[in-house]
Amino acid sequence: MAGIKAPRGVRDILPEESWKWAYVLERTEHISHCHGYREIHLPVFEQTELFSRGIGETTDVVEKEMYTFLDRGERSLTLRPEATASMVRAYLQNNMHSEQQPVKLWCAGPMFRYERPQKGRYRQFWQIDVEALGTSNPLVDVEIINVALALFEDLGLSNLDVVINSVGCPECRPAYRDELKAYFQDHLEDLCDTCQNRFDRNPLRILDCKNEKCREITAGAPDIYSSLCEDCRIHFDKVLEGLKMLQIPFHIDKRLVRGLDYYTKTAFEVLSGELGAQNAVCGGGRYDNLSEAIGGPRLPGVGFAAGIERIVLIMEQQGCDFGPKPSVDVYVIAADDLSREEAFYVATELRRNGIRADLDFLERSMKAQFKSAVSKDSVFTCIVGEKEISRSVVTVKDLRTGEQSEISRKDLAGYLQPRIRP
């Protein structure tokens, strides 16, 4: 096809799919409210510094994946690659510390990352983001994981795997970093180029490299548990205890370090075998130092984000229910050319009475109009012709039963309403 296309990695969510998204968002709102999380709308672009300082200069997201531009006032702005840094910024800017803590918020919207597109990975994608700010209570980590799982269960997702780890804190991580570096030093030449690059800048990231050779090497790497400070160890134990208490099955994965630098203590992901290489449907964790990294006071927080494209993909593959597909209640059919305007009035009248109505605008035959009624899953047809107009009636046909009756125009909405939504 000639002409302008959408940029690579970006796609249209067409009506055949968008109603499924609406369902996922509607259930997200329900589950979030059920757990005491309130909705917030955040800007799609922010000052670049928010992300470079918040997410970390040495992360792939900040180094390679951000859509950064100068506005007309020469300010560096970035299309948000994620929502957590913005959540913390919004909390600080709007003095939410004066509200009852923790402040529990959720949002949904498009995120932007310049990644290599593949199944389940796009350059514009939607996240559902749920965050609890203002407490370091490990039970809130458990609550956050539980919100994610409650949502997935509500949507009917099955065969999910919760993996969890502790990534320590600025107090205990430096010692672990040194230990890791000492280990990787002996294997440096066998690591992939990316990991050799990570060695000095961010050795923890070597742990979740997908390269076969790197994985062999990391299998023997020291794990963080022996390096955790007492505070981190107690926190991790309490989170695991809480998960057990709620009977949430999980696996500890000592290689799970996540791609964003703000994490402290808890890091987790929910994985699905349905997704191929991009197997994470959700990722999250605790970020007690993020606020300070962006110039704010100490503000502990924990949250998760889940990708809507990936949720919908799994739901489709597992044959999950998306609720009723939007359809029209009534298709209004003009029996002859002189009745087309009248059909339009009838449809408008029905719509004004809360009935979902549609009709033909291409002056098609009655047969074609009937076909449209069926293809739009209409429950009723209302036939308007010269004969009906002269007597101020409409011929109503119930497509479920084939039953047909003549109803006076003034009684039409009242007749249909209880039959459509009893």
Given the rule CB under 6 A, which residues bind ligand HAM? 82-84, 113, 115, 120-122, 125, 127, 129, 131, 259-260, 280-285, 287, 303-307, 309-310
- Comparing CB distances to ligand HAM, the nearer of 86 and 369 is 86
Closest contact distance (angstroms) between CB of 278 and ligand HAM is 7
- Comparing CB distances to ligand HAM, the nearer of 306 and 383 is 306
- Comparing CB distances to ligand HAM, the nearer of 187 and 198 is 198
Residue 357's φ and ψ, nearest 5 degrees, are: -130, 150
Closest contact distance (angstroms) between CB of 354 and ligand HAM is 37
Within its chain, how far is the Cα of 195 from the centroid?
30
Q: Is 2 left (phi over 0), alpha (psi -120 to 50) or beta?
A: beta
Pairing of strands 380-384, 45-47: unpaired
Residues facing residue 405 across a β-bridge: 396
Contact 156, 168 (CB under 8 A): no
Please compute Rg for the chain using Cα positions.
28
Q: What tokens were used for 262?
A: 């703000």
Closest contact distance (angstroms) between CB of 79 and ligand HAM is 13
Closest contact distance (angstroms) between CB of 192 and ligand HAM is 21
Residue 34's φ and ψ, nearest 5 degrees, are: -55, -30
Closest contact distance (angstroms) between CB of 64 and ligand HAM is 12
Residue in the shown chain whose Cβ atom is closest to ligand HAM: 307
- Cα(218)–Cα(215) distance, integer angstroms: 5
- Comparing CB distances to ligand HAM, the nearer of 221 and 280 is 280
List, in order, residues 6 or more apart from 38 with CB less than 8 Å away. 32, 104, 105, 106
Residue type, 17: E
| Beta-carbon-side half-sphere exposure of residue 308 (alpha carbons within 13 Å) | 24
Q: What tokens were used for 144?
A: 């956050």
- Cα(344)–Cα(181) distance, integer angstroms: 74
- Comparing CB distances to ligand HAM, the nearer of 259 and 296 is 259
Closest contact distance (angstroms) between CB of 320 and ligand HAM is 16
- Comparing CB distances to ligand HAM, the nearer of 109 and 259 is 259
Within its chain, how far is the Cα of 88 from the centroid?
19
- Comparing CB distances to ligand HAM, the nearer of 202 and 378 is 202
Closest contact distance (angstroms) between CB of 284 and ligand HAM is 4
Closest contact distance (angstroms) between CB of 13 and ligand HAM is 13
- Cα(124)–Cα(51) distance, integer angstroms: 17
- Comparing CB distances to ligand HAM, the nearer of 129 and 274 is 129
